[in-house]
Structure 1
Amino acid sequence: MLLVLLGVLAGPVRAGAVFSATTLQLPGATLQQVHGEIVPAAGGGLRVRIDADRLDLPAMGWRRVPLHLDGVLQRDPEHRWLLAGALQLKSAPGSAMSDATVDLQVDVAANTLLLDVRQGVAQATVAVPLDQPTHAQIQLKKLPFGWLQGLLGTVWAGKATGGRIDALMALDLRDPGLQASGQFSVSSLGVDSTSGKLAAQGLGGSGRFSLDTTQGPAKINLESTLRGGELLLGPVYANLPAHAVQLSMDAVADAGRLAIDRLRVGDPDALALNGAMAFDAKGDLQSLNLSRLELGFPAAYDRYGKAWLAAMGLHDMTIRGDLDATLDLRQDGLHAFKFDTDGLDLADGDGRFAVQRLKGGFDWIRSGSRPPTDLDWQSLSVYKLVNGPVRSRWQSDDGTLNLQKPVSMGLLGGQVRLSQLAWAPAAAQGQQLNASLAVTGVDMAAFSRTMGWPAFPGTLGGAITGLSVSDDRIALNGGLSVSVFGGFVDVTGLSLQQPFGDNPVLAGDIALRQLDLGAITSVFDFGSITGPLDGHVNGLRLVNWQPVAFDAQLLADQGGRISQRAVNNLTSVGGGGIAAGLQGAVLKLFKTFGYKRIGLNCRLQGSLCHMSGLEPNSGGYTIVEGSGLPHLEVIGHESDVDWPTLVRRLKAAVAGGGPEVR
């Protein structure tokens, strides 16, 4: 619009003049289908109307913008041209100047054109030397940030979503591109990328900037102070405080890609950062290099880490202390990292893990070696299991961070000994971590109380000969053995997926060997059964610690005695009854019965348990095969039982309130 007026007013002005042009080429701009007229105005002066079907201003990102100007042109005693009127642009980026008023002053003697545009509370004032129309001094007051959408679109594949800006700046249109610099302040600023991975909302702040698009990719320099608002940079979400946060950077934007070559952030009580980062056209993080990262908790977590950790399944963290770190992440993966703390306490809100008085750190590099480091903690809790204090030493060599000597941790009266651990962060999947450990003498009564189970005596031990981590899955080679109830429970093939996610998945196989049924039934208050028990639970799969699949077989085939209550409970679980003519009245005459075999199987698939027993029987399956007189036989009639129903029956059986028979 400004260039149109310059073109019109540069020549002689005559009342009653009508003019038109198919194409009007001006410095930095092109207009097409231009029509105008100048006629006498009521009250003096000349009425000027200018219409252009299309205005293209590439440096500002304007394409095909229709223009309409209707105003009164006058000449004052100082021989300056003055024009006041209405300006309407249609389809301009951000709906800029859709219904504005304009005041134009052209002072040939002073070689100056002064333009003032207002719409609502927004005001833009532009001063241009007549002999250099590609240069402008611009002042913006309460300008909707969306009005700069076109300019924003020339340097970044994003859009303005809100906010206002005040600025004092210089602008030079070049061929190609532009150069701009100045100072600014913004309030409630919002921007968003097409991918949604780079965004801001409600930002407030001020500072200085420069922009240069003359060499192809746009070069941006920013020195600013931010106050409040939200900022998203790939995986990092920041909820900025009301006090001042210093942000400075040098960046290059090219075809949607953004490379921040120099980044400095200073938040006095939470964060100090020096580094660089780069994003591709989709907004995905390509590289991140932090030469300095100082974090103060809990402020750093609340403002910068909460959303990132929540995406990893770590919610409502409690973190206190300080952490210093460096990081080198490139497009081909991790190249180096280092962290160190003088004291850090952290715990997740779901009680899955906690560390107290963490001190020291790691220093890892992808190639070569680094000096050894120490890492100590006072206590480590994983799913309510508390390990005692540990002092460990580590060293990075050829891309692997190695534990230099074995460490031992106390656990519930026993010990966990980590004899070997090698972590290769940049290795291929399945080869990132290998470890071996042994568990000895863990008190099962204490373990049961910790897990909220009925307390029973015994000890837990075993050896994990290999532990591997692939992405979010932990797999254990070897096994654990629990010496309990006079026999053994062996656990093998363990794996844990998303250990700290919202839905962790545990898988493994369990073998039962010669467990004393008398001890088991006394602890679980099921009713008395004597004799040894064998069995297995193969293909066990728990999702969020709830079973969704397994194949369980329980067998007591060496004979023993079973109480009346245990008979009732087994009958309830199998949905069956008493066979061989034994009536309820006769059953009440005996406290215990002899049995030859007991067998009960359950194959769980989804929410349905497919049940069976020792052998098929007419109309069902045998659960208890009696021995002696009175001869007892318990038959199960329900082959498919809803899993929640079966769980309710078992809970009722062990709660001492009698079986649930429905």
Structure 2
Amino acid sequence: MSRPILLLCLCLGALLAPGWASARVAQLRAERVTTPVGTLAQVRLRLDWPQGAARGELQLWVGRLDAPDLGYRGRDLHWRCPLERTPADGWRCEGVLQAGGVRPLRLAVALDPAITRAALSQGGARLALARTAAAPDLTTFDLRAVPLAWAQALLAQAWPSGRLKAGTLDGRLRLATPARGPLRVEGPLHLRGAGFENAEASIVGEGLRADLQVNYRSTPAATRASVAGALLGGEFLAGNTYVALPATPVGLEVEARQSAGAGWSLPRLAWRDGDVLAAEGTAALSAAGDLDALDVRVRSDDMAPLRTRYLSGWMGLVGLGDVDLHGAMALEARIAGGRLAGVDAQLQGVDLRDPAQRFVFDGLRGDLRYSAGAPVASALQWDGGQLYGLAFGAARLPFASAAGALRVDGAVDMPMLGGRLGLRDVIIRPPQDGTGADIRFGMRLAGIDFGKVSQALGLPAFQGRLDGDLPHVHYANDRIDFDGGLSLGLFDGRVAFSSLALERPFGTAPSLSADVAMDDLDLLRLTEVLGFGSITGRLDGRIDGLRLVDWTPVAFDARFVTDGDGRRGVPQRISQRAVQDISSVGDASFITSLQGQLIGLFSDFGYRRIGIGCRLENQICTMSGLRSAGNAFTIVEGKGIPRLDVVGFNRAVDWPTLVERLVAAGKGDVAPVVD
């Protein structure tokens, strides 16, 4: 709706006073008309009242309309209506009001010596005002289904970048415009279906409903405003904070003050959402609208609805948007100079559960204190939990905080899968100055049962012990880098992991990169676990540049080779089933000196060496072996009688197809290929 409409309703009482109309002037011009709320320029009034007629016709043109206190500016208004007398020695006129680019409205004005009335309507929307001669500085407004957009100009006074998109208002407001005093607006408002946003869409509201009491006072030097009442539903976004209001009423109180050229101060903020969230505090905004200071106290006796109502925006930034919360908490937070100055949180019986099973904490309790200045101490503890399905036991973390960092005093040790997980040198720096959180610590694993790890991760039933020392682990920018490595005792050999890094650990499509080295693995124990026939001997190997996205391999360069002609006392034999499995997986055939039909007479064969490689890139695995001859490559070099070699002929294998073949080989669903 055009911004000049509200001001025109206020000005008509001054322009069409009874003295003007009774003069029956055919035409009146004025370069400037001043009222308590604004100024009209280039005004022209025309009255056509035929001699002896019961009524005449009134037309009003306004070239320019300005109301600085209300923020209204308008051009080229035209109102035309039939003018007639009223029994109270007054005048009444009702007709169509037009302004450039706006749907026509209907404006009715009634003037008499005691009171001025005006009503503006469009469809089912109606805004009526009344002003008495006894109190000419006071105007009363009655609103019925008034489009929220009609208040756009008034909103722009306090929020220049704000735009009202939808919604209606009902209520009764009193507007005071004394010559010596502040402009005042006060009264109840009922908001339905409100929608708004700022220019950057960083602040957005949709479907908001509320019953509010508003109070607004403005002078050239300062502005004061207060809103109190209940929010009844809807949703809004402010930066990373997304709020989905419940169907039950949420109490709201806001008091705001602003001096000319300065930012807003909010001496009172209050929010009451039953047992879910109660908050109160104070705040201050800079002249640019940034949060400069905050002192808030928050309590939740039922954390279960917190995520869906208030925390999904922030938790979603780190991939925790679906985490279930249970328990109770109390929190005090302070921001000074735009920076986090302190946090004091108390947790009682809090459970955190990720439906994707990335992590679980049970019985989280204690307090957590953060300070950007003087030292403070606190401690958190839990009863147990899981990390990607790997269970860990109870632990207590003693914290010390000062100068903007949280530190864990000493080392922390907790049971994990039959072994121990140790943390040390923990330093946590919360997000500041546009940078995200920064976390550093050292970690040590000792005697972790890899059989339990395999079971938790859905791997074959590997057996072994996992040990390692990671002296420096660094989390920043949604990425974890590990200095040092992990060593796994597996199949009577060793598997070492190095160059470990994890991106988006709790976000969408987490990505893991690493280099893996294998030394002296017992092939018999390995193939028995994998269901891959039977091979005796020892195996070395490397997987360089391993990259998993959402825990699925997308790139690596892998090569596995047995130890030469074998070590003394370690026979090198390969079963017929293993030969068949290797040939099926590697697009290979086996060649023997005997007739093909006699191959089934032998259960196993001697071999000199086994070697196979795969370089995965763009879903294609480039295969290799011990040696190459053209497009062919040798995977198994036979030895003894019968001598059997396995040779591959297809170097480029589709990775999903290769995975299907590996699965089939593990189940024994293969057939021999003999040349």
- TM-score > 0.5 by shorter chain: yes
1:643 aligns with 2:643: no
Alignment of structure 1 residues 28-427 onto 2, 5 Å = 28-40=37-49, 44-79=54-89, 81-91=90-100, 98-107=104-113, 110=114, 112-129=115-132, 135-156=138-159, 157-173=161-177, 178-215=183-220, 219-251=224-256, 260=266, 262-276=268-282, 286-287=291-292, 289-295=294-300, 296-329=302-335, 333-370=339-376, 372-425=377-430
What is the distance in 1 between the residues matched to 2:242 and 2:541? 51
1:17 to 7, 15, 26: 26
Return the letter of the residue paired with 1:57.
A
| Deviates most, 331-340 or 640-649 | 331-340
Q: Which residue of 1 aligns with 2:630?
A: 618
1:486 aligns with 2:498: no
Q: Which residue of 1 aligns with 2:587?
A: 575
The 8 Å contact of residues 285 and 293 in structure 2, kept in 1 or not, is answered as no
Identity of aligned residues (%): 32
Specify whether residues 552 and 450 from structure 1 end up closer, same or farther in structure 2 by C-alpha distance, changes over 3 A only. Answer: same
Return the letter of the residue paired with 2:644.
L
1:6 aligns with 2:6: no
1:524 Cα deviation from its structure 2 partner: 0.5
What is the distance in 2 between the residues matched to 1:305 and 1:431? 17
What is the distance in 1 between the residues matched to 2:16 and 2:404? 70
What is the distance in 2 between the residues matched to 1:255 and 1:556? 78
Q: Cα deviations across residues 182-216 of structure 1 (Å, max 9, x unaligned)?
A: 22222222222222221222222222222244336
Q: Secondary structure at the match of 1:630?
A: coil
What is the distance in 2 between the residues matched to 1:287 and 1:349? 37
Q: Which residue of 2 aligns with 1:654?
A: 666
Q: Secondary structure at the match of 1:226?
A: strand
What is the distance in 1 between the residues matched to 2:553 and 2:182? 63
Q: Cα deviations across residues 206-238 of structure 1 (Å, max 9, x unaligned)?
A: 222222443367543212211112122222221
What is the distance in 2 between the residues matched to 1:545 and 1:244? 44
Q: Cα deviations across residues 585-638 of structure 1 (Å, max 9, x unaligned)?
A: 243232211111111111212312222111222332221112222222222222
The 8 Å contact of residues 306 and 325 in structure 2, kept in 1 or not, is answered as no
Specify whether residues 578 and 332 from structure 1 end up closer, same or farther in structure 2 by C-alpha distance, changes over 3 A only. Answer: farther
Q: Which residue of 2 aligns with 1:461?
A: 467
Q: Secondary structure at the match of 1:228?
A: strand
Please, which runs of 5 or more residues in structure 1 have no aligned partner?
Answer: none
Q: Cα deviations across residues 90-141 of structure 1 (Å, max 9, x unaligned)?
A: 358xx5x83224132232xx3x322233333322222235598664222222
Specify whether residues 14 and 249 from structure 1 end up closer, same or farther in structure 2 by C-alpha distance, changes over 3 A only. Answer: same
Q: Secondary structure at the match of 1:60?
A: coil
Specify whether residues 542 and 277 from structure 1 end up closer, same or farther in structure 2 by C-alpha distance, changes over 3 A only. Answer: farther
What is the distance in 2 between the residues matched to 1:537 and 1:154? 64
1:433 to 433, 436, 439: 439
What is the distance in 2 between the residues matched to 1:583 and 1:280? 89
What is the distance in 1 between the residues matched to 2:481 and 2:194? 47
Q: Which residue of 1 aligns with 2:5?
A: none
Specify whether residues 346 and 501 from structure 1 end up closer, same or farther in structure 2 by C-alpha distance, changes over 3 A only. Answer: same
Q: Which residue of 1 aligns with 2:639?
A: 627
What is the distance in 2 between the residues matched to 1:653 and 1:330? 64
Q: Cα deviations across residues 466-516 of structure 1 (Å, max 9, x unaligned)?
A: 211213111222221111101011111211111110111111111101001
Return the letter of the residue paired with 1:606.
N
What is the distance in 2 between the residues matched to 1:242 and 1:527? 63
The 8 Å contact of residues 179 and 214 in structure 1, kept in 2 or not, is answered as no
1:550 aligns with 2:560: no
1:581 Cα deviation from its structure 2 partner: 5.8
The 8 Å contact of residues 59 and 173 in structure 1, kept in 2 or not, is answered as no
The 8 Å contact of residues 395 and 414 in structure 2, kept in 1 or not, is answered as yes
The 8 Å contact of residues 286 and 292 in structure 2, kept in 1 or not, is answered as no
Q: Which residue of 2 aligns with 1:446?
A: 452
Q: Which residue of 1 aligns with 2:4?
A: none
1:602 to 614, 626, 629: 614
Q: Secondary structure at the match of 2:82?
A: strand
1:356 Cα deviation from its structure 2 partner: 0.8
Specify whether residues 171 and 583 from structure 1 end up closer, same or farther in structure 2 by C-alpha distance, changes over 3 A only. Answer: farther
What is the distance in 2 between the residues matched to 1:286 and 1:635? 69
1:301 Cα deviation from its structure 2 partner: 2.3
Q: Secondary structure at the match of 2:220?
A: coil
The 8 Å contact of residues 328 and 347 in structure 2, kept in 1 or not, is answered as yes
The 8 Å contact of residues 165 and 186 in structure 1, kept in 2 or not, is answered as yes
The 8 Å contact of residues 316 and 348 in structure 1, kept in 2 or not, is answered as yes
Return the letter of the residue paired with 1:526.
F
Return the letter of the residue paired with 1:275.
G
Return the letter of the residue paired with 1:339.
A
| Deviates most, 135-144 or 619-628 | 135-144
Q: Cα deviations across residues 237-281 of structure 1 (Å, max 9, x unaligned)?
A: 211122221111133679998765542111112111123556789
Please, which runs of 5 or more residues in structure 2 have no aligned partner?
Answer: 1-7, 566-571
Q: Cα deviations across residues 38-82 of structure 1 (Å, max 9, x unaligned)?
A: 122796122212233443334333333432222233333432x22
Q: Secondary structure at the match of 1:239?
A: strand
What is the distance in 2 between the residues matched to 1:219 and 1:252? 4
Specify whether residues 565 and 498 from structure 1 end up closer, same or farther in structure 2 by C-alpha distance, changes over 3 A only. Answer: same
Q: Secondary structure at the match of 2:20?
A: coil
1:168 Cα deviation from its structure 2 partner: 2.3
Specify whether residues 278 and 589 from structure 1 end up closer, same or farther in structure 2 by C-alpha distance, changes over 3 A only. Answer: farther
Return the letter of the residue paired with 1:377.
W
Return the letter of the residue paired with 1:584.
G
Return the letter of the residue paired with 1:528.
S
Specify whether residues 128 and 376 from structure 1 end up closer, same or farther in structure 2 by C-alpha distance, changes over 3 A only. Answer: same
Return the letter of the residue paired with 1:243.
T
| Deviates most, 634-643 or 59-68 | 59-68
Return the letter of the residue paired with 2:462.
F
- The alignment yields a C-alpha RMSD, in angstroms, of 3.0
Q: Secondary structure at the match of 1:448?
A: helix
The 8 Å contact of residues 59 and 177 in structure 1, kept in 2 or not, is answered as no
What is the distance in 2 between the residues matched to 1:369 and 1:89? 67
